[in-house]
Structure 1
Amino acid sequence: MKRRMAALMVGDIVGYSGMMERAEEQTAERLASCQALISEKVDLLDGRVFKTTGDGTLAEFPSAVNAVRSAFEIRSALAGAQEPDTEPFRMRFGLHIADVVVQGDDLVGDGVNLAARIQAAAEPDSIYVSGALFDHVRRNSAFIFDDMGERAFKNITESVHLYRVRGEIGAHRLQSAPTQLVITTERRPASVAVLPFRVSGDDENQRYLAEGLTEELIVELGRFRRLSVSSRSASFAVADSHPDPVRVGEALGVRYVLEGQLRKIGERVSISLTLSETDQGTVVWSDKIQRPFEEILALVDGIVARIAATVSGRMEDAAMVAARRKPPENMTAFDCLLRGLDHHRLGGVTDDNARQAVGWLSKAIEADPHYAAAYAWRVCAASGLPGFDPEQGRRDICRALELDPCDAEANRIMGAFELMGGNFDEALAHSRRAMELNPTDAYIKARCAAVFTCVGEAEHSLSLLDEAEMLDPFLPVWCVEERGVALYALGRYAEAIESLRKLTFQTTRSRLYRAAALVALDRSDEAGRMVREAVGSEAALTASNFTSRECYRDPEKARELGRLLREAGLPP
């Protein structure tokens, strides 16, 4: 008997039997079109439809992330394909991951049955996933989830924890990039990727410490102007699938790869380090260090200096070395910060994790009221929560910069706050300062590019995005979509449409900018479909609330965007 693991998606059309009674031939024709659309979306994400049952569809995916993305894409595409004066097809989905039995082209077993039960429990237009599948996607998700609690199902021995997809995630720095492989045969000189430190066993305390130290190294190495450092998202994206230094070099275009293994034994930390060149995979140097946990940040400083000297052949000027972010006054604060960041990675995925992140970061501030990084990250963690207080956020980020003006991330966040407040010159100043402080941080470049587009410097935005994508071929979608927005702002509508069309995942924002560009080119039918898809994923969307998010310095830009979207069919 052949078995395999599969991410399962089961979907059906709500009220289909009633539609057949009211308009049999028309409904049957529409079902055929719907099934063709579903098959297309499933195929695009490497899935396979293995069974249809009237209006029901069962599909499998090798990737849990792609299973969720496919269900979301199908739901949005159906909204875009609805014809006027017809009863809308409203689907509901159930997703689960399980070991299934293969019978020819069919899949059977308890896992398939459970996915079907989850689908039956879902409301119209909703996507429910099991706790088992959620555990696979939560660190690589493009979506926010609502925790629906435990649910008992008939003939299922144990209750099942369910989550519901609420919508797209926000622009979250710590989320992983799309897992796509980009081969870059040309390696940049004096360039390095820091892979996530491995840990022994499944100790959560060791894992969050390892990830935190990896990020510390990436940030601190990024301060050296002669050193090109791959971003966190790029390093984490290739870590699991391409651990070999030569393959990492091909994927990220770097000449060196730093790998490490961490063990925390009592109050001591042991780190094994290996720096390899990526042409042949030859080890350049390796070291094993043991220190008390309290000395861990001093350890980071020493590692950074050694790598910088080895890779670039010289140390940067003393002023840049001295510009290191100020460390906490005690290790309790650092430990709380790392725990907060661990929850923040999932903060866009569930509100509970965002609240826990805010709690841990607040504890870091209590332990060390002068810890600038904790204030900056607390703003990020809190900003996605319902009821976020922008004034408290501004106070936190002002405090962070007061304590440490050399924190690049804090300067970037302040730039975003100033942009939202209409203080465009201040937004530019903080964005430029952020890039000066960490010139090789691809995420900072991409997010600052958005500021330049809004203030009317979209050509410079495109240059920044070129630099960011060269540094990091795995940038998150919400960074890459900035290119399409900049092209739109320049009136290069056909290029904007093509750039946004190529995104690995379509966001509400990308769809609406495509719609506006399509109307500008007199392609209203296509624009209408984009708007319907956008509304299908965000029902309360209007032209006014969308344009209010796009903080253009020139008010005519916002008015023009709103006009084009209304012409495309978006409610005013």
Structure 2
Amino acid sequence: MERRLTTILSIDVVGYSRLMERDESATLAALKSHRLELIDPFAASFGGKTIKLMGDGGLLEFESTVQAMRFAISVQNEMLSRNSDVPENERIVFRIGINIGDVIAEDGDIYGDGVNVAARIEGLAEPGGICIHRSVRDQVQDKLDLNFEDLGETEVKNIERPVRAFEVVLDDKAKALAISEPVAHTKSQISKWAPTLVGAVCICLVLAAAIWWRSRDVVPLTDQEELALAIPDEPSIVVLPFKNRSTVEEVGYMAEGFGTAITTQLSKFPQLFVIAGSTSITFADSLVKPREIGRELGVRYVLSGSAQSVGENISINATLIETESGHALWSEQYDVGVEEVFSAQADLVREIASTLKIVVEEEEVASLKKRQTDDPEAYELFLKAVAKSKLLNTVSRQEAIELLERAVVLDPDYLSAHIELSGRYLSLWRFGGSDDPKTALNKARRHAERALELDQSDYRVQHRLGQLHLFADHDHQLAYQAYQRAIRENSNDPEVLYDMGFLRSLMGEPSEAIEWNNKAKRVNPRYPGWYNFNAALSHFLIEDYQQALLLAKTGISTYPKSLPPRRILVATLAEMGRLEDAQIEADKLLEIRPDFRVSTHRNTPFLRSEDQDRYFGAMIAGGLPE
């Protein structure tokens, strides 16, 4: 725990609920665009860091009050331009509040009156405006040529004393202080913020509530994890998202799919260490240079690329960079039609393998060249479905399923589409969202069985079968065997590694589970917050309650409305004898899910009854209703 004086910036979306009700998908897409192209790079330019998301708002911290002010002015100025051609009822409009205050910093979060005042002042701002505390005005008035409107002493909710607030006049003077393009980091800035870049850059939809790729809530690395990011002995690489250099939406899907496929193919080489795509995608449109990426992720090589339409063809460019020197080892260009994309992927993977001195066997060459589908339309539907799935909202998930169903109608032998469909339906059955869970589970089985018929050696097929064996059949041994087969084929997929860890926890082997969870985190350094649930459960089972407590709190701080870390937090506090604290946390969980009952979670497939009884008994002792 640390106390410090800092500059706090609170930002939220005006009329967020109305926008979501009107068009959820369009609102989330717009927020994603603003985050990637505006909020993240501008915050980096002014030395800011994102602390957390709070539903429809966010909290950022700046060491320099002047830089916080320039960030706010630049964002609001740029939003005017971005909204100029958008119908008024569809516009994303921000309010911003800035305060200087004393805060308590703990576990990557900040608390205290300084934060509360920033949030209340933000509520005083006009839509598209900036409101600041008097202390901010005093700090910047001799350093920035700005006009302010005095709002006087104002009573605000939950703050005992009146607050003196000022509205920043966004006139020509203010515009002169704004930037329209982000400024690259200096080396000192990157070094300064290195411990928190993981959380700051990865936040997937700034100001949107708990969305983007299951994951996209990211936890800061602990000191132990930072030490684990030493460059491996084997060749190591991260494939950055391929950029769409055209205005054609379909090319964007193609670019994303191309980069993902390269990651998947490289991951299958046991001689390679490959960073997960779910981490690499957080560098989309990032200003971070390859040398810094190499340091943060612990890899020797970075592959970057782009795609653009050239007539009826697609031009794909790829560059392999050595991170230590920052020098490009080679660049390749492929001008191909849609039907030739798979061949280009195979050629590029072989070129990378050759450069990294990886011997590619003949059977591996044949596997690389194998086409996923002969139907270009089915391939396009698949790429669109994957993009929809990453948005992680109910509407997009259903749209993804519909696109995938159309793809397998066009090509009944489309392996990847069957695997993805099985996963989509399994998620509906496990996590809700289906009016008919039994049918969803049956469809998950049917598509997994079809995928098995098509290619039983594909690691993704074995992974999906393992999930079905564990969660649907409670057959731990078959699940273990399936996960083992998957890992033999691909030891770099973090989802398989994580699921193996979760299985070992449920089998009563928490120490082994911790090892698997750490492996998943290593190949996915910007891992999603829910990785901490299994880690917390493992430490709970070995009675390491302090570590379980820390991991549960970290999971909650990055995903406040997620129930699993809150469940384990209640259970852990109860086992520690802190029943009053456990009851407080139980009440918080029930605020999120009033109908929560421990009994509905007793189908969690623990192999040992004593583990199940201790875990669920602790939840009940902590105040959760049975």
With the length of structure 1 as denominator, give the TM-score of the two structures. 0.71
What is the one-letter code of the residue matched to 1:409? R
1:141 is displaced (CA, Å) by: 5.0
Distance 1:499 1:200, change over 3 A: same
Distance 1:467 1:362, change over 3 A: same
1:173, 1:443 within 8 Å by CA — same for their partners in 2?
A: no
Q: How does 1:81-120 map to 2 (within 5 A)?
A: 99-102=128-131
1:215 counterpart = 2:260: yes
1:314 is displaced (CA, Å) by: 2.4
| Residue of structure 2 in register with 1:375 after alignment | 418
1:540 counterpart = 2:592: no
1:231 is displaced (CA, Å) by: 0.5
RMSD of aligned C-alpha atoms? Answer: 3.8
1:177 is displaced (CA, Å) by: 4.9
| Residue of structure 2 in register with 1:473 after alignment | 525
| Residue of structure 1 in register with 2:331 after alignment | 286
1:410 counterpart = 2:461: yes
| Residue of structure 2 in register with 1:235 after alignment | 280
| Residue of structure 2 in register with 1:132 after alignment | none
1:186 is displaced (CA, Å) by: 2.9
Count of residues in Structure 1 that have an aligned counterpart in Structure 2: 452
1:302 is displaced (CA, Å) by: 0.8
1:443 is displaced (CA, Å) by: 2.6
Distance 1:365 1:289 in 2: 28
What is the one-letter code of the residue matched to 1:340? A
Distance 1:527 1:209, change over 3 A: same
1:509 counterpart = 2:564: yes
1:329 is displaced (CA, Å) by: 2.9
1:373 is displaced (CA, Å) by: 1.0
1:274 counterpart = 2:319: yes
1:565 counterpart = 2:609: no
Larger displacement relative to structure 2 (432-441 or 175-184):
175-184
Q: Secondary structure at 2:530's aligned position in 1?
A: helix
Q: How does 1:490-509 map to 2 (within 5 A)?
A: 490-503=542-555, 504-505=557-558, 506=560, 507-509=562-564
1:241 is displaced (CA, Å) by: 3.2
1:376, 1:400 within 8 Å by CA — same for their partners in 2?
A: yes
Distance 1:238 1:547 in 2: 39
Distance 1:546 1:94 in 2: 40
1:372, 1:400 within 8 Å by CA — same for their partners in 2?
A: yes
Distance 1:563 1:179 in 2: 29
| Residue of structure 1 in register with 2:11 after alignment | 7
Match of 2:575 among 483, 495, 520: 520
Distance 1:457 1:402, change over 3 A: farther
Distance 1:408 1:329 in 2: 22
| Residue of structure 2 in register with 1:434 after alignment | 486
Distance 1:204 1:483 in 2: 39
| Residue of structure 2 in register with 1:140 after alignment | 204
Distance 1:344 1:138, change over 3 A: farther
Distance 1:329 1:429 in 2: 32
Distance 2:546 2:202 in 1: 35
Distance 2:480 2:594 in 1: 33
Q: Deviations over 1:376-424 (max 9, x none)?
A: 1112333333234211111111111221213322322221111112111
1:268, 1:291 within 8 Å by CA — same for their partners in 2?
A: yes
What is the one-letter code of the residue matched to 2:218? P
| Residue of structure 1 in register with 2:270 after alignment | 225
Q: How does 1:316-395 map to 2 (within 5 A)?
A: 316-322=360-366, 327-346=372-391, 348-349=392-393, 351-382=394-425, 383-384=427-428, 385-387=433-435, 388=437, 389-395=440-446
Distance 1:541 1:332 in 2: 44
| Residue of structure 2 in register with 1:80 after alignment | none
1:245, 1:276 within 8 Å by CA — same for their partners in 2?
A: yes
Distance 1:539 1:407, change over 3 A: farther
1:140 is displaced (CA, Å) by: 2.2
1:97 is displaced (CA, Å) by: 11
1:141, 1:175 within 8 Å by CA — same for their partners in 2?
A: no
Q: Secondary structure at 1:502's aligned position in 2?
A: helix
Distance 1:356 1:96, change over 3 A: farther
Q: Deviations over 1:68-114 (max 9, x none)?
A: xxxxx99xxxxxxxxxxxxxxxx9x99999642456659999xxxxx
1:46 counterpart = 2:60: yes
Distance 1:491 1:241 in 2: 41
Q: Structure 2 unaligned segments of length 5 or more: list them.
A: 1-8, 16-50, 63-67, 69-93, 99-108, 111-119, 138-146, 149-200
Q: Deviations over 1:229-274 (max 9, x none)?
A: 1101111113333441101101111100000010123431101111
1:7, 1:95 within 8 Å by CA — same for their partners in 2?
A: no
Distance 1:221 1:256, change over 3 A: same
Q: Structure 1 unaligned segments of length 5 or more: list them.
A: 12-38, 51-57, 63-72, 75-90, 110-136, 146-164
Q: Secondary structure at 2:325's aligned position in 1?
A: coil
Q: Deviations over 1:42-93 (max 9, x none)?
A: 8994369x9xxxxxxx98489xxxxxxxxxx99xxxxxxxxxxxxxxxx9x9
Distance 1:98 1:432 in 2: 55
| Residue of structure 2 in register with 1:452 after alignment | 504
Q: Secondary structure at 1:258's aligned position in 2?
A: strand
1:493 is displaced (CA, Å) by: 2.3
Distance 1:485 1:178, change over 3 A: same
Q: Deviations over 1:444-499 (max 9, x none)?
A: 21122112211222222111112122222111111232111111122322321122
Q: Deviations over 1:255-300 (max 9, x none)?
A: 0000001012343110111100001201111111111111101111
Distance 2:563 2:480 in 1: 26
Distance 1:426 1:96 in 2: 58
1:8 is displaced (CA, Å) by: 1.8
Distance 2:407 2:619 in 1: 45
1:187 counterpart = 2:239: no
Distance 1:508 1:340, change over 3 A: same
1:425 is displaced (CA, Å) by: 1.1
Match of 1:482 among 534, 538, 547: 534
| Residue of structure 2 in register with 1:176 after alignment | 216
Q: Deviations over 1:320-353 (max 9, x none)?
A: 555557621322221111111111112x22x221
Distance 1:270 1:139, change over 3 A: farther
Larger displacement relative to structure 2 (505-514 or 175-184):
175-184
1:306 is displaced (CA, Å) by: 1.0
Distance 1:232 1:40 in 2: 23
Distance 1:409 1:365 in 2: 17
Q: Secondary structure at 1:477's aligned position in 2?
A: coil
Alignment identity in percent? 23
Q: Secondary structure at 2:302's aligned position in 1?
A: strand
Distance 1:307 1:41 in 2: 38
Distance 1:366 1:397 in 2: 16
Larger displacement relative to structure 2 (261-270 or 182-191):
182-191
